[in-house]
Amino acid sequence: MPALDLAQWAVLVLALVLVGFSKTGISGAGTVAVALFALVLPTKSSTGMLLPLLLVGDVVAVVSYRRHADWPRLLKLFPWVAAGVLVGAVVVRWVDDAQMRRIIGAILLVIIALSLWNRRRGSDASLANRPAVAAFAGVFAGFTTMTANAAGPIMALYFLAAGLPMLGFLGTTAWFFLTINAFKVPFSVALGLVTPATLVFAAATAAAVVVGGGAGRVIVRHINRTWFERITLALTFLAAVRLMF
């Protein structure tokens, strides 16, 4: 278990609640969790510690929305995502902790820019259905999830642009991340990111993810989505800048 003070533990617990919330509520909350983990823990270690807990959240999401998934779209995406994961694994292998912090910060800033761009232009299902767009989204998501566990907003933009209904969006997202995060595990073990110590940490803190997942199912129906997304983007921006500088 990491040697942390009470304030740091509080930050990590909050991050884990946000992980669960992002799986069943608003995916953008996950970017804040990624940033908080990278700020409190050694950056490369933070990605490994977070992965088993993301899988806990994925299981909660699949149990909640397992009947709703666009499998043809997922099957088209998986080869591209796998390619992105492989590229990300190579990068993680060769960068040091300081470089990893900057990479995560830069990825979060790109995600913010894409989110703002998507808001201005609106959804376009015809664009999302183009093979080249699916390939780009898949490779970028695979790279981002391997290096920073931060592909949630990218795939949210892609699935929303594809015009998926609410339950279809939630179910497709749930199955996508359960599959891809499981695919990442052997690479993370080989890179020394997932270890017995990270599994002990996950076992000790998984309850926070489950609580967040349950809260997401309830709260998402009652909160102001626009303001929540604005606050999430603002917090992610501050964390990204802190990681880079």
Using 50, 70 and 90 to split pLDDT, how confident is the model at 199? very high
pLDDT over threshold 90, residue 130: no
Tell me if 216 sits within 8 A of 24, measured CB to CB: yes
Whether 163 maps to a domain, the answer reads yes
pLDDT of residue 150: 80
Whether 183 maps to a domain, the answer reads yes
For the chain, helix (H) and strand (E) counts, in that order, are 11, 0
Residue of 242, 77, 223 whose CA lies nearest to 162: 77
**53-84 confidence digits (pLDDT tens):** 999 999 988 988 888 888 998 999 999 999 99
pLDDT of residue 178: 95
Whether 1 maps to a domain, the answer reads no
* Percentage of residues of the chain with pLDDT beyond 70: 90
Lowest average pLDDT, out of 17-31, 178-192, 221-235, goes to 221-235
pLDDT of residue 225: 62
Lowest average pLDDT, out of 62-66, 123-127, 128-132, 192-196, goes to 123-127
Question: What value does the mean pLDDT take over residues 85-104?
Answer: 88
Whether 221 maps to a domain, the answer reads yes
Question: pTM of the predicted model, to two decimals?
Answer: 0.82
pLDDT over threshold 70, residue 229: no
Tell me if 43 sits within 8 A of 159, measured CB to CB: no
**131-147 confidence digits (pLDDT tens):** 888 888 899 889 988 98
Q: How far apart are CA 198 and CA 53, in angstroms?
A: 10
Residue 36 contacts by C-beta under 8 Å, 6 or more apart in sequence? Answer: 11, 12, 14, 15, 18, 239
pLDDT over threshold 80, residue 126: no
Using 50, 70 and 90 to split pLDDT, how confident is the model at 11? very high
Domain membership of residue 158 as a residue range: 6-244
- The H or E element that residue 114 is part of is helix 97-121
Average pLDDT, the chain: 84
**152-184 confidence digits (pLDDT tens):** 777 877 887 777 777 788 889 899 999 999 999
Give the count of domains, the chain: 1
pLDDT of residue 232: 65
